Structure 1
Amino acid sequence: MNFIQTTIKKSLGFILGATMAATTAQAGPLEDRVEAGEPIRLGFAAAPPWAYAGDDGAAKGFVNDITIDVLKRMGHTDVEPVLTDWAGLIPSLNASRVDIVTGGMYVLAARCANMDFSEPIGVFGDAFVVPAGNPKGVSTYQDIIDQDLIMVSPSGYNTIADAKAAGVPTGNIMEVPGTTEMLAAIRAGRADAGATNALEAQRVADMSDAVEMTDPLAFPPESRTPVAVGFHTDDDAFREAFNAALAEYLGSDEMMAKVAQENYIPAFLPDGQTTAEACKAN
């Protein structure tokens, strides 16, 4: 082999190697983990019925059920549950401590700026949890403002930003780690109403005769927001494959039979809403 042939061979080898490296880089960290035989780490907070850990530590809740079933359809069955605080979900994803984020994650512009979402797995609204009998007649954020009441909501929930946007002063908003603490604040009289999504509000109301849920329809229609599954911004290819499998699974008899036990009903299915539109609108 002469000098020219040797030079060409080395150049081709360099180009091929660079191309392969670029292809690997484009695959994304999640696909790299799957290729290496490592489990897909599913990050979620304790937020029943959306997501929570079972007695055996398994990922439960309808968002986890949907996500795990879609992953199975993609051929991925090695899933590792990672339970964390709600406020730590997106930081954990961006720090690569988890690979996918589930739970009742509303598609909001602020979140879209920090991670990517799948297409919606459902569309949901909000409600208040109030003392039984609703003695102060709370049904909207304006009631909180007019009566100078204290509202409580889990940290990181969309209801905090919504309340502020509606004009509720920051000093009238109490943030707590989760819905258990929200219920405790209402029962102890430290808060007059708790704001959360309607599914969680109903679950909290069912936990105690001392509280009840207000009418979700009292909230403005725009409070109904798509919920989706979160992915790292480098995992476009995996997310697109997930979306393709999700489109076939969403609303199927298999899905509805499984999620019915967590109070997910057909009315929650997306009706043409898209993640791209939600990221711009919310």
Structure 2
Amino acid sequence: MNTNTPAALRLGALGAAALLALTACGNDAGDDTTAESNGAAENGAAADGAEAVTIAIAGEDPYSYLDENGEPTGATVAVAQEIFGERMGYAVDITEEPTWGNLIPGLGAGHWNVVSAGMSITPDRCAEAAFGEPELVYTTAFLVEDGNPHNVHNFDDLSEANINVVAMSGAVEAGWMDDLGIEYSTVDTPDDGIDFVEGGRADVFALTAISLQSMAGDMDGVEVTDSFAHEISVGAHAFRLEDEDLVAEFNEHLAELQDSGEYLDLVSEFGFTEDEMPPSGLTAQELCEEDPAELTEQYLED
């Protein structure tokens, strides 16, 4: 991925008035901005009259990233473009925020209306953002030196090994290692973590398995361990807490896509399969409010 590509990609033609509206989004300067009937508060208007929704993506293949031409792509981008653009009629304005730890703070600050990055729903994040219904189930893997010389395959192995470990700042892997008392350092992007292991500055980079396979699976000198499920981890689109109507309308279209099989068609292009679809009956509310260990036992260990 070319991390030097400009961060903002305009998919909807935004006029000067829209830029002003988006800048004011979520701050005290937006007192005279009213919510539209479709639930998209303070989004601004595109030059063609369509209301604009601003979506932040991360630089993590295969969820959301910029391709070699600087165009936004990935599984969650495809879903966002289908729902917000095709089905809800928005002009979609996509901005890359490559530092994972900035995605939720930027949402709360009103820099964007939605985060489309395959972000796992956790109780801590639910205190700062509203989540759409579950979309993709994730497992974890480690990027290690070829041959896995330290023989690490899960977090228990890391607890027993005296090695250098890195994780993305704000990622669920970092939270799990905090809970387990595992020492680690943080990086801002997946590319940074891969560079640390490839360059010998770290022994392990912990990340979602499908990301590591997609981004580093063919690299010389390193390998991706077999995936494992430490705890239930389910990704979804994230919204500002106040945008309840927008979340509700998004969820209606998401359910239509999932029920028809079109959702899987959209994300399968990026390597996702039926195995990554969420368990039947699992809701965002459960993931926000209930004990992750109990949910893991209920949905992953049946």
- TM norm structure 2: 0.78
Provide the residue aligned with 2:232 in structure 1. Answer: 224
* Structure-2 separation of matches of 1:179 and 1:188: 14
Provide the residue aligned with 1:100 in structure 2. Answer: 114
* Structure-2 separation of matches of 1:205 and 1:60: 18
Provide the residue aligned with 2:60 in structure 1. Answer: 47
Provide the residue aligned with 2:178 in structure 1. Answer: 164
* Structure-2 separation of matches of 1:50 and 1:133: 28
Instruction: After TM superposition, list the pairs within 5 Å mapping 1:170-209 onto structure 2.
Output: 172-209=183-220
Pick from 265, 274, 281: which aligns with 2:283? 274
SS at match of 1:137: coil
Change (3 A) 1:224 1:212: farther
Change (3 A) 1:55 1:41: farther
Cα deviation for residue 245 of structure 1 reads: 0.8
Cα deviation for residue 27 of structure 1 reads: 5.9
Provide the residue aligned with 1:17 in structure 2. Answer: none
Is 1:250 aligned with 2:263? no
Question: Which is greater in Rg?
Answer: 1
**What is the one-letter code of the residue matched to 1:274?**
T
Provide the residue aligned with 2:128 in structure 1. Answer: 114
* Structure-2 separation of matches of 1:30 and 1:188: 45
* Structure-2 separation of matches of 1:258 and 1:61: 10
Change (3 A) 1:26 1:258: closer
Q: Would you say the 8 A contact 1:74–1:242 is kept in 2? A: no
Residue by residue over 1:158-182, the C-alpha shift from the partner in whole angstroms, topping out at 9 and shown as x without a partner, is 10110121221xxx30111111111
RMSD: 2.4
Structure 2 spans left out of the alignment, 5+ residues:
1-30, 293-302
- TM norm structure 1: 0.83
Q: Would you say the 8 A contact 1:127–1:215 is kept in 2? A: yes
Tell which deviates more after alignment, 241-250 or 177-186: 177-186
* Structure-1 separation of matches of 2:88 and 2:39: 17
Change (3 A) 1:209 1:130: same
Q: Would you say the 8 A contact 2:130–2:240 is kept in 1? A: yes
Pick from 84, 99, 123: which aligns with 2:137? 123
Higher helix share: 1
Q: Would you say the 8 A contact 1:57–1:81 is kept in 2? A: no
* Structure-2 separation of matches of 1:32 and 1:226: 29
**Which structure would you say has the larger RCO, counting Cα contacts within 8 Å and 6 or more residues apart?**
1
Q: Would you say the 8 A contact 1:251–1:266 is kept in 2? A: no
Instruction: After TM superposition, list the pairs within 5 Å mapping 1:66-85 onto structure 2.
Output: 66-84=79-97, 85=99
Cα deviation for residue 140 of structure 1 reads: 1.7
Q: Would you say the 8 A contact 2:132–2:250 is kept in 1? A: yes
Q: Would you say the 8 A contact 1:44–1:86 is kept in 2? A: no
Tell which deviates more after alignment, 124-133 or 35-44: 35-44
Aligned length: 256
